[in-house]
Chains A and B, each alone.
Chain A
Amino acid sequence: MRRKISIVLTIWSVAFSALLLTGCNTSRRIETAAIIENVSVNRQDGEIIYTFYRLTDDEKPWGVDVRADSLEEACALAEESYIPHFSLAKLELLMIDEDVYEEVMESDIDFISTRPSFSPIAYVTLCDDKTMESFRENNRAQRVIEEQLILLKNHNPDVSINYLSIFNQFAREGEESFTVPFVSSEKELKVSEFEIRRKK
């Protein structure tokens, strides 16, 4: 009996000490982890800017701007230079400016679909410059957009509002276009449908 106990104890102590020494202790602690809630992409001074907004209940969103050509590059830069321990698992909204969607949308959606760290049910919208500005200023804008996205989806099930469905539309053969939501700044924020013609 004593031998049994000593064997079990030895195995457990070795396992625990090894776990501590080799990785599990480098976990993301809740207070230090930066949970990214939204990402926006727009153009400033001719360069593409990815803005990572952290989860907060402040009035004004707290975002970090990263200059990059794609989301993949932006994520790598953000992890290294700006936001250590950042997590995209709770990403809720990816906003792409209408000026840059042609350049980044395909590669970004492609990148997101290969990463297990992304939440695949995050909303994806196109928007205009003013919407982007208002989003920077007010944290309430996200809720308004999400509510309107759900309304839009209820009216028209063919609109792809999250990147899982966008990706599936995108990857489907034989279809020449797909529809995504577009947020315009008319009368606060208004969401309408936007058809994207696929490149042949």
Chain B
Amino acid sequence: MADGQSTDPEAARIEAAVEQPVARGTALLQVRDLKMHFPLTQGILFKKQVGAVKAVDGISFDLNQGETLGIVGESGCGKSTLAKVLMNLERATSGQVLYKGEDIAGVSGRALKAIRRNIQMVFQDPYTSLNPRMTVGDIIGEPYEIHPEVAPKGDRRKAVQDLLDVVGLNPEYINRYPHQFSGGQRQRIGIARGLALKPEIIICDEPVSALDVSVQAQVINLLGGLQQEFNLSYMFIAHDLSIVRHISDRVGVMYLGKMVEIGSDEEIYEHPTHPYTQALLSAVPVPDPSGREGRERIILSGDIPSPANPPSGCRFRTRCWKAQQRCADEEPLLAVPAVFLGLPTAAAHESACHFAEDVDIVGAG
């Protein structure tokens, strides 16, 4: 694809597109029918494919400039795989990822380098995502080795110290090693590294789930402040529904490789129409004991099925209390349900259920 370094027209086109400014609120990243299947093979010498783990199986959504899109779902739903595909850490099986209109799924070489500068990632585990043998200065400054145009050699130390200051760490810590920091401070280092190249999009994969409760709020506040300051767009992947609601403008709910419901935070939390979203919201423990006796919970039976062999039709039907024959035969599409179409209600948002219903759930606030 991108072997011809200097004459590659695709790379040149993407490099040009990346420089284009995008108006606030318009789509920066458009994901269309994205699939990531991991092959399952059998045999040692003559490997033959016997199936595939469909980690991400046909997902479409937009990420708008300046917004935070929250992605929630349980383990195994494919939310982290989605992040990896968007980062080009995994090569998508099929589908498109349009960044400012250019398809970036599976690009390599010069084009990939240009994209990476603009899409950065903050990882979940601040203990394993920092190299223990590198100083904080080297960790945060490493992106400049690959993209020297962002900070010329002489300015790098200053640039790193500025970044430390921006994320609320003492700039004098530049020569320390990761083990000298606490979890929350390490996550700040990870965020500083993500910011180094002045990206437009930061994909945060469970950025606070490894942190103590009292430190989580600090990091959430930091992310919020940075978004304002640097005009960032976030894709915020998490399983903590109340944190996602706090930080997100829109929320997408994933189940077994599919997006089952997507809408504004109010639409999802106040008017969930997909039974899985409803169950998820009602299962979240509410940090308020008053009225706990009267609270009705939807307790799902069973476990999430294997993504290597997902149920036919609607993937949630094996655990769904509304499931009927139609759910096994026909896969529901992610669209505004017909019953709500054109109605002036917050329930009129995209939901992949044949029997979508607006239910009031007293759940994660």
| Bind each other | no
Q: B residues bordering A, Cβ < 8 Å?
A: none
Q: A residues bordering B, Cβ < 8 Å?
A: none
